[in-house]
């Protein structure tokens, strides 16, 4: 990829695609992790007296929706950056925005309104991409969490301007690339979350490369039901049962352990004060849901990981946001953090668990992109990498 080392930004107007898709609460940013992750790139460019025009999405608005405005993000960014950030409330493609940008001077920082307010953003509309391109003399993609999206503010505009990877983008690609190309063995992958369909590609891609996989979260019940287990009211993707069987058969062919929960914490409803039982994972009573891995499974997963030299973790082991169904996720976080190994975590709830325990500095890399990290590990590249001069899937294929 072309990087900031290739860009002379001095006194240029630089368009930067950041990932400020952050949680808001009561009109304020509730977690500024992604904003902080962008600061090294912004400070590097400001050190060259560039004028910065920042673009991001927030949430999944259907058209213009004040609830998804980036105005609160501008306030949080100004506080973290230690300088004024001018929020531009008009649509990014509008003449009003163009006028505000033309008035920018070296050292200025402007944050544009949510790019997903633009109807052509997700369609990668060429005219919209050209409108974005008129706002800068160079483009920097630093939104790794959006680099798997072929959207106008990610891929389209990069084809219209001299384009470069930001420091966060470069860091993510190097860290995840090590999992693909230079892992130390034994190498384990831990996957969780709700849906097998979200993880199919990465399971198929990594199974031949790893020593084993541990699967928790609701997605485990699709495998358990496919193998003939009784899962009660637990979440199952009924149209993925054959696929789950095929993945288990593939693991056996490769002689790779695919660990599934042996016991789960079950309840009739997702509530902090709900009655819970620990039951066999393949014998969940009717009307009950498995909502976290059980104590025997936690011990088995931690034991399997004990000798690992490389670990990739994506997805919670249960309904992490509702105690007491967070214990499995926290146990996995603690087990991985204790390893003397190359460890990478990605995905919102997994990262939240690491942050809650204060373990972020005990992981080798905490990725800002859940879906993007999975797609990168599946394909070896992303649309946002290719458009910056990175490798195509054909070039990285074994």
Q: What are 355-382's pLDDT values in tens digits?
A: 888 888 999 999 988 889 999 999 999 9
What's the confidence (pLDDT) of residue 31?
Answer: 86
Q: What are 296-317's pLDDT values in tens digits?
A: 999 999 999 999 999 999 999 9
Annotated active-site residue 370? The verdict is no
DSSP-derived secondary structure letter, 153: I
Q: What are 111-127's pLDDT values in tens digits?
A: 999 999 999 999 999 99
Annotated active-site residue 348? The verdict is yes
Instruction: List, edge to edge, every strand of the sheet that includes 138-141.
Output: 86-88, 109-112, 51-55, 13-17, 138-141, 163-165
Catalytic residue among 36, 130, 178, 195: 195
End-to-end alpha carbon distance in the chain: 20
Q: Which residues pair with 165 in a beta bridge?
A: 3, 141
List the domains of the chain with CATH numbers. 4-169 (3.40.50.1260), 183-379 (3.40.50.1260)
What's the chain's average pLDDT? 94
Q: What are 186-243's pLDDT values in tens digits?
A: 999 999 998 888 888 899 999 999 999 999 999 999 999 999 999 999 999 999 999 9
CA distance 246 to 335: 29
Residue closest to 6 by CA, chosen among 226, 166, 218, 219: 166
List, in order, residues 6 or more apart from 181 with CB less than 8 Å away.
none
What's the confidence (pLDDT) of residue 390?
Answer: 66
Catalytic residue among 12, 13, 34, 149: 34
Q: 31 or 171: whose pLDDT is higher?
A: 171
pTM: predicted TM-score of the whole model, two decimal places: 0.90
What's the confidence (pLDDT) of residue 315?
Answer: 92
Annotated active-site residue 34? The verdict is yes
What's the confidence (pLDDT) of residue 395?
Answer: 57
Catalytic residue among 212, 318, 348, 370: 348
Confidence bin at 397 (pLDDT 50/70/90): very low
Confidence bin at 398 (pLDDT 50/70/90): very low
Annotated active-site residue 195? The verdict is yes
Cβ(196)–Cβ(224) below 8 Å: no
């Amino acid at each position: 990829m072309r990087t900031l080392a290739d860009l002379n930004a001095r006194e240029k107007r630089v368009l930067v695609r950041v990932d400020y898709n952050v949680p808001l609460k009561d009109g304020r940013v509730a977690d500024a992790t992604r904003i902080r992750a962008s600061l090294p790139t912004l400070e590097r460019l400001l050190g060259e007296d560039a004028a910065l025009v920042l673009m991001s999405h927030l949430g999944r608005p259907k058209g213009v929706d004040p609830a998804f405005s980036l105005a609160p993000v501008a306030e949080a960014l100004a506080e973290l950056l230690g300088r004024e950030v001018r929020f531009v409330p008009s649509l990014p493609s509008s003449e009003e925005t163009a006028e505000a940008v033309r008035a920018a001077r070296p050292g200025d920082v402007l944050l544009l309104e949510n790019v997903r307010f633009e109807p052509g953003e997700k369609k990668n509309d060429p005219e919209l991409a050209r409108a974005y391109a008129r706002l800068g003399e160079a483009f920097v993609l630093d939104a790794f969490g959006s680099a798997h999206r072929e959207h106008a503010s990610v891929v389209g505009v990069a084809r219209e301007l001299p384009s470069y990877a930001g420091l966060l983008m470069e860091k993510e690609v190097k860290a995840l690339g090590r999992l693909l190309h230079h892992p130390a063995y034994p190498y384990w992958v831990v996957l969780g979350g709700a849906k097998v369909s979200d993880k199919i590609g990465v399971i198929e891609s990594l199974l031949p490369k790893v020593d084993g996989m541990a699967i928790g979260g609701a997605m485990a019940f699709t495998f358990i039901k496919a193998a003939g287990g009784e899962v009660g009211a637990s979440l199952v993707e009924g149209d993925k049962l054959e696929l789950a069987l095929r993945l288990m058969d593939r693991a056996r062919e490769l002689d790779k352990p695919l660990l599934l929960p042996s016991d789960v914490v079950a309840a009739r409803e997702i509530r902090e004060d709900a009655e819970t039982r620990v039951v066999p994972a393949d014998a969940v009573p009717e009307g009950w849901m498995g909502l976290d891995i059980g104590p025997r499974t936690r011990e088995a997963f931690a034991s399997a990981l004990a000798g690992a030299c490389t670990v990739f973790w994506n997805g919670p082991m249960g309904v992490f946001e509702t105690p007491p169904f967070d214990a499995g996720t926290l146990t996995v976080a603690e087990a991985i953090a204790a390893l003397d190994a190359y460890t990478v975590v990605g995905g919102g709830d997994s990262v939240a668990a690491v942050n809650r325990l204060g373990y972020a500095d005990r992981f080798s890399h905490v990725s800002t992109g859940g879906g993007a990290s999975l797609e990168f590990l599946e394909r070896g590249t992303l649309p946002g990498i290719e458009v910056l001069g990175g490798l195509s899937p054909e070039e990285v294929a074994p």
